Structure 1
Amino acid sequence: MHDITIRQAAAEDLDGARVVMLDAVYRDFGTGYVPGWHTDIIDPSSFYVVPPRHTLLVAVDERDGTVAATAALDARGPAHPPNPRWLAERFPSGETAQLRRVYVRPEYRRRGLARRLVEGLLDFARADGGYRSVYLHTYPHSPGAMGLWRTLGKVVCDEREDVPGGGSGVVHFEIPFA
């Protein structure tokens, strides 16, 4: 395996991180870029690099500088709507570290990068001292996502089963980090 370095994203990493994220929303999710959902992908610096309680981590292949994977954290809890009200109340903004944009390029999958990135995000959340919970949501069809998240946390709401009409089909997780 190539030498992969996990680090906070620097200015020179943002274009590569953006490519990883956009590839995921087009290839893995099939949605393409949706402005209401993906503004942070276009401007990751404003969302994850500049705010002090937020971060963007990248996994960089030291052989050629390729950004192989991304993972972000911010202090925004899940919004209602579109999420169930009780979920937004359980994971309030400011107290919730929300994991976002944990994406790995296909050729780098199955090497533990996502897990290493998440460990880095959890370390960041612990060091902040102000977060009381860690939350994320995923789509069940996202390659490898359900297996990873089930090993790291617990399902708190599976919209396919828990929301009348199936909601948006999203599965919500809480990750222990104390």
Structure 2
Amino acid sequence: MTLIRPATSPTDLEAVRKLCWDYRTHLASVSPIEAELTETFYPVPKYAALMDALETEHARPQGIILLAELDGSPVGCAMTHALDPQTSEIKRVFVAPEARGHGIARKLIGALMDQARTDGYSRVVLDTSVNLGPARALYANLGFSERGPYQDTPEDALPHLLFFEAPL
């Protein structure tokens, strides 16, 4: 059975941090370009600092951290934070390889969108790699449209990234 819920306890947050590190490792393994982008955007010291600040960066009521469990084990995470009063950004959607195929990423994103709508945002945005085909297909299937960058992005990274937006 799949359960999607807010990560609130220290145990939950530790599970999310582990999943986020697994996500970083996964991204770096996709291709040499992904490895370079991962090191550019999330060098280990910067990522470690981000992991230490997760519950602040994605605090309620401007954001949320979700944990996905499959048969009681943590297998996925996703989170949001505010970019501005109308825009919630989705970050670090990850499902462990052994849990894929259960619709967990779809449930995580749906729950994030529902929460952002409840919180009064009018749109959600996210970015992903050109090389993450299944993620791109999922976002399109959930009603996201491609758009231009919504934040400063290094010019040399732009050909490798896609930006998406969905109204709420």
Q: Same fold (TM over 0.5)?
A: yes
Matched, 1:7 2:5: yes
Kept in 2: contact 1:56–1:70 (CA 8 A): yes
Deviations 1:115-165 (A, max 9, x none): 101111111011112x1211100112236211111212111138xxxx976
Distance 1:175 1:38 in 2: 30
Deviations 1:60-106 (A, max 9, x none): 123xx421110101102xxxxxxxxxxxxxxxx23211011111101
Decide whether aligned partners of structure 1 residues 39 and 141 sit closer, same or farther in structure 2, where only a CA change above 3 A counts: farther
Q: Gaps spanning 5+ residues in structure 2: where? A: 29-34
Kept in 2: contact 1:28–1:142 (CA 8 A): no
- Specify the code of the residue in structure 2 equivalent to 1:69: G
Distance 1:164 1:44 in 2: 27
Structure 1 residue matching 2:160: 3-state secondary structure: coil
Residue 141 of structure 1 is matched in structure 2 by 131
Residue 20 of structure 1 is matched in structure 2 by 19
Residue 75 of structure 1 is matched in structure 2 by 82
Distance 2:78 2:156 in 1: 31
Q: Report the more deviating stretch, 31-40 or 10-19.
A: 31-40
Q: Gaps spanning 5+ residues in structure 1: where? A: 77-92
RMSD: 2.3
Per-residue deviation at 1:176? 2.6
Distance 1:15 1:4 in 2: 19
- Aligned pairs, how many? 151
Structure with bigger strand share is 2
Per-residue deviation at 1:28? 2.4
| Same amino acid, percent of matched pairs | 28
TM-score, structure 1 as length reference: 0.75
Structure 1 residue matching 2:148: 3-state secondary structure: strand
Per-residue deviation at 1:19? 1.0
| Counterparts of residues 162-173 of structure 1 (less than 5 Å) | 167=158, 169-173=160-164
Distance 2:48 2:160 in 1: 18
| Counterparts of residues 19-168 of structure 1 (less than 5 Å) | 19-29=18-28, 30=35, 31=38, 33-34=42-43, 35-36=45-46, 39-48=49-58, 50-62=59-71, 65-76=72-83, 93-129=84-120, 131-142=121-132, 144-152=134-142, 153-157=144-148, 167=158
Structure with bigger helix share is 2
Structure 2 residue matching 1:110: 3-state secondary structure: coil
Kept in 1: contact 2:7–2:65 (CA 8 A): yes
TM-score, structure 2 as length reference: 0.79
- Specify the code of the residue in structure 1 equivalent to 2:80: L
